[in-house]
Amino acid sequence: MAATSASGTNAVRYGTMRENVRNLEVVLSDGTIIHTAGQGRHTVKSSAGYNLTNLFVGSEGTLGLITSATLKLYGIPDTMTSAVCQFDEVERAVTAVLHVLQCGVAVARIELLSADTIRAVNSYSKLSYEEKPSIFIEFHGSEKQTEEDASVVGDIFADAGASGFQWASSLSERNRLWKARHDTLYAILATRPGPQITQLSTDVCVPISQLTKAITDTEKDLEEHKLPGYILGHVGDGNYHVTFLYDTGSETETQLVGKLSERIVERALELNGTCTGEHGTGFGKKKYLVREAGPDSVSLMKQIKHLLDPHGLMNPGKVLP
């Protein structure tokens, strides 16, 4: 999580790993052990020296090996309320989410599952959601606050054409509602079993204002090429994922998945987004780094890499083109 600056469904409220790591113990390539904020230190803020902690968070093991992390903790909210509803179109669903965020409602989680993804989950988990684009949302806070937030969001979603509202407050009821989201990967894999069938999952992140266009254009690409592709997203922070299932024995399918995956990334960059919101750069996306960050920034990254890992021992070949 720290190595890729990943997050999860609660990032819209609590932030990614980058916002929640206070200190790291890191082993450098020559065996030196450092504490990025100073040994034993975990202050809320500091303006002393360079921010080494955030240098290593997201570095994917290319600068050093993270052996310990000091994290920010949060109290358990007094009340948690969850809801799920459906929309006739992805565009309506994403636009409704944007309106919620623009109103300043403090949502803790807000997730999108496409109609195909819901269909897969219904089959796998024996659920009965309407097979339409669906939004899963959760509120954290006092009982009064969550009631007010839920009321505001309910009105916004209803005005956008949402249907099939289900609400839950108890742990068992919330788990039941969120089962669809938690079972997503297994459900997708179950739609196309076979020894030669594999998955490719890619993620991108775009500015919230561009999210509707990014997702609707991606859905059009999937419909046009008739290839199984499942969209789900942490739409509260502009991050969405597409999972493809394809036959590795088919050159046509393999090439098509590569083409569509590249198109998703290119579209995100065109919209001033990033090639990856949380999966990381790795080998597969390092070719986009110059286009995203600029040649001078990448040149500086290479200098930092050479300084900290002159012999190229730490996760060689990853991140930097």
Task: Count CB atoms within 10 A of the CB of residue 82.
Answer: 23
Residue 92 has pLDDT above 90, yes or no: yes
Q: List all residues 6 or more positions away from 247 whose beta carbon is below 8 Å from its beta carbon.
A: 194, 196, 197, 253, 254
* Rounded percentage of the chain residues whose pLDDT exceeds 70: 100
The owner of tokens 């956008």 is: 160
pTM above 0.85, yes or no: yes
pLDDT digits (tens, 9 = 90+) for 171-208: 999 998 899 899 999 999 999 999 999 999 999 999 99
Which class for 215: exposed (0-12), middle (13-18), buried (19 or more C-beta within 10 A)?
buried
Residue 37, pLDDT score: 95
Residue 228, pLDDT score: 84
- φ, ψ of residue 83 to 5 degrees: the values are -150, 160
Distances (CA, A) of 198 to 245, 250, 257: 6, 11, 11
pLDDT digits (tens, 9 = 90+) for 15-52: 999 999 999 999 999 999 999 999 999 988 889 999 99
